[in-house]
Structure formats: structure tokens, C-alpha cells
């Protein structure tokens, strides 16, 4: 990527990728969605047997196929897109699939650093780090980090932000 096409955003991607286990996490979430959407339809189909309306089998098949396709194809793409980087001055992240998002927040404006582990993330030893600034639209979240990396990241960020006063409110 030495030359930039005129239509491309002239920003280099952040340095680090998230944990490779994040792919599993996104797949598991798709599987859960599959469970929640398709199971009720299948149950109704089984209970009603021959009386079930014909379209129900169609919707169950279509939603199931869609979510399954998403679960197989999209997580590897997400893994390639999601990146993050912390410098001495800024937090820089890239995320999104259909709508891509680059976020930059100056370290000097960071107010809080939160680490969160959902049940699925705990299972995979992953964590999310959320960096909040004074803005209502400010929070920068890095999902699918290795739990150890996340803890280390939160610690460094907290130390750095305590050293810089003021939050431009």
C-alpha cells in the first residue's frame, strides 16, 4: 500500500490485530442468533405438524441459511478489518463491515477506561476495552482482545490518562 488511490482514505490501518480467537467469538454470536431466531420456528413446525402454514418452513429455512452464511463468511472478514493501536498521544481503532469506522481519540481527553468480559468472551478468554471521553458520542471500544492484553492495555491507559489533566468540557 505504498500509493494511495484517490478514493481511498489516506490513513494507515492501526498496528495491531485483535485476538485470533475473536473469530470464534463472532461465530458463536452468530450461532446464538441462529438459535434464538430459528428454534422457535422449528418448535412451532414440529408441534403443529401438518397444520403449520407453508410459509413458516420457508422463513425458517431462509433465516437459518442467512445467519449460517453470515456466521461462516463474515467473522474472518471482521477479523481482518478490526485493528487497534495506542500511541503516547492517541487511541486509534478501525472496525465495521458494511460501514467502516476509523476512530481517533487523544489520550489527553480520555476520562475513563473500562474493561468488560461478556459470558461468551469469558469462555474464550477475551475482553472488550472501552475508552470514554467527555463526549456523549466519544466512547471508543475495542472488542475481541485477548483478556491479558486487555488488562495490560487498560492499565497503561489509566496510568497515561492520570498524568494528563483537563478534558475540554
Partner 1 sequence: MSPEVDAEVEVEAPTAVETPWRRLDVRMLVVGPLGSLGRLLPVVVILLITGQGDVTRLWIALAVAVLVVLAGVVRWRTTRYRITAERVELHSGWLNRQRRSVPRDRIRTVDLTAKLLHRAFGLSTVQVSSASKAVADASGQLSLDAVSKAEADLLRRELLDRSPASDAAPTSPAVAAGPPPAQELARLDWSWLRYAPLTFSSLAGIGAIGATAFNLVDDLGVDPRDIGAVDAAAERLGSAPVWLAVLVVVTVVLALAVVGALLLFAERWYDYRLTREPAGWGAGSGTLRVKRGLLTRRSLSVSEDRLRGAEIIEPLLLRAGRGAQCRALSSGLPGDAQGGALQPPAPRAEAHRVASVALREHPSQITEATLRRHPRAALTRRMTRALMPTAVLVAVAFVLGSVLPPVAWLGPWSLLLVPVAVFLGFDRYRNLGHELTARYLVSRQGSAVRQTVALQRTGVIGWTFRQSIFQRRSGLVTLEAVTAAGQGGYTVLDVAAQDAVALADAATPHLLTPFLLRA
54 belongs to the binding site for partner 1 (CB under 8 A): no
Interaction residues for partner 1, span 70-129 (CB under 8 A): 85, 87, 89-90, 92, 96, 98-106, 109, 111
Of residues 51 and 162, the one with the C-beta less far from partner 1: 162
Smallest gap from Cβ 14 to partner 1, in A, equals 8
Smallest gap from Cβ 125 to partner 1, in A, equals 29
**CB 89 within 8 Å of CB 108:** yes
Of residues 110 and 126, the one with the C-beta less far from partner 1: 110
Q: CB count, 10 Å around CB of 78? A: 18
**CB 21 within 8 Å of CB 144:** yes
Q: CB count, 10 Å around CB of 116? A: 12
Of residues 15 and 123, the one with the C-beta less far from partner 1: 15
Classify 165 as helix, strand or coil: coil
Out of 14, 71, 75, 144, the residue judged to bind partner 1 by CB under 8 A? 14
Out of 125, 134, 155, 156, the residue judged to bind partner 1 by CB under 8 A? 134
| 9-39 b/e (C-beta count within 10 Å ≥ 16 → b) | eeeebbebebbebbbbbbbbebeeebeeebe
Amino acid at each position: 500500500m505504498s500509493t494511495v488511490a484517490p478514493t481511498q482514505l489516506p490513513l494507515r490501518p492501526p498496528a495491531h490485530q485483535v485476538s485470533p480467537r475473536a473469530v470464534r467469538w463472532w461465530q458463536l454470536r452468530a450461532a446464538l442468533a441462529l438459535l434464538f431466531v430459528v428454534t422457535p420456528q422449528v418448535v412451532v413446525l414440529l408441534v403443529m405438524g401438518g397444520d403449520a402454514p407453508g410459509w413458516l418452513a420457508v422463513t425458517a429455512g431462509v433465516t437459518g441459511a442467512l445467519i449460517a452464511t453470515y456466521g461462516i463468511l463474515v467473522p474472518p472478514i471482521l477479523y481482518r478489518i478490526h485493528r487497534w493501536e495506542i500511541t503516547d498521544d492517541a487511541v486509534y481503532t478501525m472496525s465495521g463491515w458494511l460501514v467502516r469506522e476509523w476512530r481517533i481519540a487523544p489520550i489527553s481527553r480520555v476520562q475513563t477506561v473500562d474493561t468488560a468480559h461478556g459470558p461468551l468472551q469469558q469462555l474464550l478468554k477475551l475482553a472488550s476495552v472501552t475508552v470514554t471521553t467527555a463526549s456523549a458520542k466519544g466512547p471508543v471500544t475495542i472488542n475481541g482482545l485477548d483478556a491479558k492484553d486487555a488488562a495490560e492495555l487498560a492499565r497503561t491507559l489509566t496510568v497515561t490518562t492520570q498524568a494528563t489533566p483537563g478534558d475540554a468540557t
